[in-house]
């Protein structure tokens, strides 16, 4: 059976058609397609109705199966969308803090990664994929210490704790930090702190081998691009010689070339070399990888 043509998508709203086309072309995962479609439709019933009109096509049938598997998780994602808890908040760290405090109370998994669709299993797979890339890039080791900017519910800490000497997670959301502490209780080399989102000055004099920003920088950029630069500048001060700053997604502007140019300017300004320059390294998620290495 042939795959649907672009014309076959005419029964769905115009905003949904590019998402469906990218999914059918194999450019994005089913999870990411469903997330983006939920952002278009705003609720699961409208999404299901659209997919039903295309159900004779195998690829779309796979999307239907994904929707049917976890209706509770998807309902929680739809709730986040309906309440406006999935947007970057421009110019206001306090608003970002409130947004994530409210979101984590609805669905911890969806709050930290909307493409998890509220599923623990999907979030675990996505987290394992990130950790696998960090391992491939030679960034993990029992002697290394790490700082995780925007740690959310501690999903990385639970997996990285056995692979590092110590890891500290920070987040502007007290609700996220409370959930992270609950999930990581008993891990002696993990620490969490609520931060103010303005920079990393609180860690002055405490060097790290690895600093992570997994989907955290887009919120800093949205609040104020100067905040993103402050975090990069502070990272340059905190990292040990040959230490690495990993930024997975710099912004949500939709222009990867612009993000690459911006990151290139900032890395030159603050003494980093670039080892990965906005590469797409994940199958489940469309995050763009920037691996910056502190110059000697």
Residue-range domains of the chain with CATH: 9-69 (no CATH), 123-294 (3.40.50.150)
Taking only the tens place, the pLDDT of each residue in 3-20 is 555 566 777 888 999 999
pLDDT of residue 7: 60
Q: Which residue has the tokens 């992570």?
A: 212
Instruction: Give backbone dihedrals phi and psi of 209, rounded to 5 degrees, phi first.
Output: -90, -25
d(CA 261, CA 50): 38
In this predicted structure, the answer to whether residue 2 has a pLDDT above a threshold of 90 is no
Indicate the pTM of the whole model.
0.93
Of 70-84, 224-238, 260-274, the range with the lowest mean pLDDT is 70-84
pLDDT of residue 8: 65
Neighbouring CB atoms inside 10 A of 227's CB total: 18
Across the chain, what does the average pLDDT equal?
Answer: 92
Tell me the angle at which helices 93-106 and 71-82 cross, rounded to the nearest 10 degrees: 150
Structure tokens at 140: 């993990």
């Amino acid at each position: 059976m042939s795959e649907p043509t672009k014309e076959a998508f005419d029964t769905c709203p115009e905003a949904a058609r590019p998402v469906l086309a990218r999914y059918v072309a194999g450019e994005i995962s089913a999870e990411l397609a469903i997330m983006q479609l939920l952002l278009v439709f705003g609720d699961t019933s409208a999404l299901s109705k659209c997919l039903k009109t295309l159900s004779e096509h195998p690829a779309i049938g796979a999307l239907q199966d994904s929707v049917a598997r976890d209706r509770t998780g998807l309902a929680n994602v739809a709730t986040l969308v309906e309440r406006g808890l999935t947007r970057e908040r421009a110019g206001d760290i306090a608003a970002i803090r409130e947004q994530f405090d409210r979101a984590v109370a609805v669905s911890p998994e969806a709050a930290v990664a909307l493409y998890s669709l509220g599923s623990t299993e999907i979030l675990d797979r996505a987290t394992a994929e990130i950790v696998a890339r960090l391992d491939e890039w030679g960034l993990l080791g029992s002697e290394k210490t790490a700082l995780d900017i925007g740690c959310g519910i501690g999903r990385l800490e639970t997996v990285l704790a056995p692979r590092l000497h110590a890891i500290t997670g920070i987040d502007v959301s007290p609700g996220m930090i409370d959930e992270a502490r609950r999930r990581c209780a008993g891990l002696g080399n993990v620490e969490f702190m609520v931060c103010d989102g303005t920079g990393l000055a609180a860690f002055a004099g405490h060097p790290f081998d690895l600093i992570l920003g997994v989907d955290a920088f887009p919120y800093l950029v949205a609040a104020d691009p100067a905040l993103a630069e402050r975090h990069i500048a502070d990272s340059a001060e905190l990292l040990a010689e040959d230490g690495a700053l990993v930024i997975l997604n710099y912004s949500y502007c939709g222009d990867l070339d612009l993000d690459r140019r911006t990151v290139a300017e900032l890395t030159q300004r603050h003494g980093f070399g670039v080892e990965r320059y906005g590469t797409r390294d994940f199958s489940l998620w469309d995050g763009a990888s920037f691996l910056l290495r502190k110059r000697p």
